[in-house]
Copies of this chain bind each other. A is one copy, B any other.
Amino acid sequence: MGRRKHPAKIEDVARRAGVSIMSVSRALRGVEGVSEAKRAEILRIARQLKYVPNSNARSLAVANSNLIGISLPTFAGEVFADILNGMRRTFATAGYASVIDTTEYDPEAELAWVRRLLSWQPAGIILTGLDHSSETVELLKASPIPVLEIWDYTSEPIDICVGIDHYRAGQLIGEHALSLGYRRPGFVSTPRGFDTRADSRLAGLRDVFARARSASVLSARPQCDSSFATGYQGTEELLDTGPPDIICYLNDHMAFGGLMCCQARGLSVPSDIGLVGFNELDLASVLPKKLTTVRTLRRLMGITGASDLLARINGVARVPAKSLPLELIVGETTRRQPGAGGEV
């Protein structure tokens, strides 16, 4: 069985079955207009010829496709994988295929991907976050294709939106830290402008402490390969400058890196320093000391977003942007009692 130069097309199946092209088309798509006997025979021959339909021709003829285009910042980490799993399951059961690309947090890469996506006439497009190039927004607003922005929340999306309020998340953490008596906060994340969600959370945190006329939030933004290493190194930086009494991290992985750093330095958590993560990741389930973190309903977000987009694809009117609830998970890496261990 050599590699054929010219794969079988619908005409070949038709000729072999002694019917017209349309009968084959109907048989293969499972639509009405062919007798059961013929349909079975046609399917048999198609399989025998290893016939594979040409989606390009199909999409051209019907002027749409059953593709959902998805843009993510990165495949690294569980966060987007979780959202993705929620979405993909939903789309798959509805008969849509998802094609994914990552931007590595570069709006220009996102624009290039959106261009390519649009050229495939997809049924819908999903972007992560709100930080798009202006051309991306123009292009999508001018197109009839439904667009979902996910993970971040805004009341004025391109089309529809499901996410969480990252600024509010920052506030939530700040308020909790304040209530426990922490006064010298630190924040470890990636370089500014890279992940705008992290920037929003930092802003929320800052504003809470500013309103309380507390010390301003120290931040470290090292650039490392992995979240773990970033958390470790950022913590070192903060401890070396003005040591904070609590450090908040971009995510649980970084917080773990920070925990390791504190351990290496002989600092005890939470009596010497408090640590707060974000996202409630899998790692936390095996740690001896429960991590204080914020639960984000990523899978639910994926499912909700996908359902809303599907509805939109099926002609339902825009639903308002949705913001999913946040929950602070109080663990053992922050004090239990206000002021205990603090020297305000």
- Min Cβ gap A137→B in Å is 11
Cβ of A118 under 8 Å from chain B: yes
Residues on B with C-beta less than 8 A from A227 are: 282
Say how far A117's CB is from chain B's closest CB, in angstroms: 9
Is A4's CB under 8 angstroms from B142's CB? yes
Complex CA–CA separation, A315 to B143 (angstroms):
38
The reply to whether the CB of A75 lies closer than 8 angstroms to some CB of chain B is: yes
Q: Tell me whether A3 is interfacial, beta carbon within 8 Å.
A: yes
Q: Are A119 and B60 in contact (CB under 8 A)?
A: no
Does the CB pair B229–A139 fall under 8 Å? Answer: no
Selected contact of A138 from candidates B50, B58, B119, B257, CB within 8 Å: B50
Query: In the complex the two chains form, what is the Cα distance from A283 to B57 in whole Å?
Result: 47
CB distance from A308 to the nearest CB of B (A): 17
B100 in contact with A100 (CB, 8 Å): yes
Q: Of residues A3, A143, A229, which shows the largest number of chain B Cβ atoms within 10 Å of its Cβ?
A: A3
CB of A78 within 8 Å of the partner chain? yes
Are A57 and B60 closer than 8 Å at their CB atoms?
A: yes
**Binary interface encoding of chain A residues 24-56 relative to chain B, with 1 for a CB under 8 A from any of its CBs, else 0:** 000000000000000000000000001011111
A179 at the interface (CB under 8 A from B): no
Q: Which of B53, B56, B139 contacts A56 (CB 8 A)?
A: B56
Residue A120 CB within 8 A of the other chain: yes
- CB of A228 within 8 A of CB of B56, answer no
Cβ contacts under 8 Å, A88 to chain B: 102
A161 → chain B closest CB, angstroms: 17
The DSSP consensus for interface residues of chain A is: helix
Residue A282 contacts which of B116, B139, B226 (CB distance < 8 angstroms)?
Answer: B226
With a cutoff of 8 Å between Cβ atoms, the chain B residues found around residue A263 in the complex are: 288
Q: How far is the CB of A105 from chain B (nearest CB, A)?
A: 14
Q: Are A119 and B54 in contact (CB under 8 A)?
A: yes
- Report the nearest B residue to A261, measured CB to CB: B286
Is A336 in the interface zone, CB < 8 Å from B?
Answer: no
Distance of A241 from chain B, by nearest CB (Å): 20
Give chain B nearest CB distance to A299 CB in angstroms.
11
Q: Is A155 an interface residue (CB 8 A)?
A: no
Q: Report Cα–Cα, A264/B101, bound state, in Å.
A: 41
Is the CB–CB distance between B52 and A7 below 8 Å?
no
Distance from A109 Cβ to chain B, minimum over Cβ atoms (Å): 9
From B54, B139, B141, B225, contact of A52 by CB (8 A): B139
Q: Which residues of B contact A74 (CB under 8 A)?
A: 81
In the complex the two chains form, is B144's CB within 8 Å of A4's CB?
Answer: yes
Task: Name the B residues within 8 Å of A143 (CB-CB).
Answer: 3-4, 7, 50, 52
> Within 8 Å CB of A231, what residues of B?
286
Interface contact A54-B226, CB-CB below 8 Å: no
Residues on B with C-beta less than 8 A from A99 are 99-101
User: Which residues on B sit within 8 Å (CB–CB) of A58?
Assistant: 119
Nearest 6 A/B pairs, CB to CB: A226-B282, A55-B119, A56-B59, A75-B81, A99-B99, A260-B286
Name 6 interchain pairs, CB-CB below 8 A, sorted by A. A3-B141, A54-B60, A54-B119, A55-B116, A55-B119, A56-B121
